[in-house]
Amino acid sequence: MHKLAHILRLGLKELTSLRHDSVLLLFLFYAFTVAIYMPAAGSVIGVHNASVAFVDEDHSALSRQMAEALQPPEFQPPTPLAYDQLDKVMDSGEYTFVINVPANFQADLLAGRQPGVQVNVDATAMSQAFMGAGYIGRIFQRELLAYSGQADASQKAPALLTTRALFNTNLEGGWFLAVIQIVNNITILAIVLTGTALLREREHGTLDHLLVLPLTALEIMLAKIWSNMLVVVLCTWISLEVVVKWALGVPLAGSLTLFLLVTALYLFASTALGIFLATLARSTPQFGLLAIPVIIPMLLLSGGSTPLDSMPQWLQWVMQCSPSTHFVSLSAAILFRDAGVNVVWPDLLALAGIGLVFFAIALARFRKSLAS
């Protein structure tokens, strides 16, 4: 009972020090409101409002029909362009797509020849360029089939392909992006809050005062973990209710209670990692330099930004040792697919195991740093 009382009082002390830290409180507010709303509302995954220039050397009904087929919201209305300006606008990056329909295109098509249409793509636009080129190819294919009297090409196909989009019917990229932003911010805050709290104790000399008291390293660590865990879980719940569900209108199908419990388990692992990094650093700037190369791979390679299946096999195995990988998988399964414990238990076990390993390593390192 004395140990629990010590852990409770130390945790309350952590919460009191956080309450008086206006910079961290402002960072918490920003991380769970603006930093979630702006990327989810402003970022578009796919093709949207892409700029197009159209070099029409044919000036036929077919070339005009092809230009008119490129419509919003995927594309801006095509801008007519002279042929001698093509290289200039591509070099300047003024347009993402520059389409060149050659002279006698319609006549060659009617004569049975195979005329070509050149689609110039500014590939620095990344996903918009790659996906947009595919969109343009399909749009032109449809228009050419319609012009040649083969519009109903689907009837000639040996099988009819039907696509069903589950869990995100309208394919809204912002839905998943909002949750991924929360996951990323939880990762950053869990590591930063606990690490800076420990270093603040050391720099202000209060850690030496704690060591005079009958306290163990385990009690100090658990106090820091539960206090920071409480703050981040509470901020996560408010952010999901106010920003994600109300402001962004994302329909979360799963259990928020289960997700918050999973979040607490993830925080157990990531806060232990933050304490471990803080024991390696001698100052707050040094801790920041150590945290950056740890946090960035956890954010970029966890499966939220890039699918795990697209990564090299060895990297997939390495990232299975990261708690963020399992947390991203759990977040998508619980919040969007309404998965229960009976479905997500493998990731739960992996997350708990990684958390225990991180905690044991951090505790051993913390004890060693206190003894030195």
- Give yes or no: residues 229 and 349 share one domain: yes
| Residue reference for tokens 């040649």 | 148
Residue 132 near residue 123, CB atoms below 8 Å: no
Domain for residue 217, yes or no?
A: yes
Domain coverage including residue 123: 52-156
Ordered alpha helix ranges (H), the chain:
2-19, 22-31, 34-42, 61-68, 86-92, 105-110, 127-147, 173-204, 206-212, 217-239, 256-280, 284-300, 313-319, 323-335, 341-371
- Give yes or no: residues 72 and 114 share one domain: yes
- Give yes or no: residues 237 and 298 share one domain: yes
- Give yes or no: residues 15 and 37 share one domain: yes
Q: Which of 104, 127, 156 is the last residue of a domain?
A: 156
Domain for residue 234, yes or no?
A: yes
- Give yes or no: residues 180 and 262 share one domain: yes
Whether omega for the bond prior to residue 73 falls within 30 degrees of 0, making it cis, is yes
Tally of structural domains, the chain = 2
Token pair of 138 as six digits: 């399909």
- Give yes or no: residues 364 and 255 share one domain: yes
Distances in whole angstroms, Cα of residue 372 to Cα of each of 278, 280, 290, 306: 15, 12, 21, 42
**Phi, psi (deg, nearest 5) at residue 74:** -70, -40
**Phi, psi (deg, nearest 5) at residue 323:** -65, -25
Token pair of 350 as six digits: 């992996």
Q: Which of 156, 182, 208 is the last residue of a domain?
A: 156
- Give yes or no: residues 21 and 56 share one domain: no
- Measured between its terminal Cα atoms, the distance across the chain in Å is 29
Domain for residue 166, yes or no?
A: no
Domain for residue 215, yes or no?
A: yes
Strand ranges (E), 4-102: 52-56, 79-80, 97-101
- Give yes or no: residues 132 and 195 share one domain: no
Q: Which of 105, 128, 156 is the last residue of a domain?
A: 156
| Residue reference for tokens 């979630």 | 36
CB half-sphere exposure, 129, CA atoms < 13 A: 13
State pTM to two decimals: 0.79
Token pair of 59 as six digits: 């000036």
**Phi, psi (deg, nearest 5) at residue 99:** -105, 130
Q: How many CB atoms lie within 10 A of CB 334?
A: 28
Domain for residue 161, yes or no?
A: no
- pLDDT tens-digit profile, the chain (372 residues): 677 887 888 788 878 877 877 888 898 899 999 989 888 777 666 778 889 999 999 999 999 999 999 988 889 999 999 999 988 888 888 898 999 999 998 898 888 888 889 999 887 776 677 788 888 988 988 888 888 765 454 455 455 456 566 666 555 666 788 888 999 999 998 898 888 888 887 776 676 666 666 778 788 888 888 888 899 999 999 999 999 988 888 888 888 999 999 999 999 999 999 989 988 888 888 998 999 999 999 988 888 877 888 888 999 999 999 999 999 999 988 988 888 899 899 999 999 999 999 999 988 988 887 766
- Give yes or no: residues 151 and 234 share one domain: no
- Give yes or no: residues 232 and 349 share one domain: yes
Domain for residue 313, yes or no?
A: yes
- Give yes or no: residues 211 and 335 share one domain: yes
Domain for residue 96, yes or no?
A: yes
pLDDT tens for each residue of 263-273: 999 999 999 99
Domain for residue 167, yes or no?
A: no
Strand partners, 79: 53
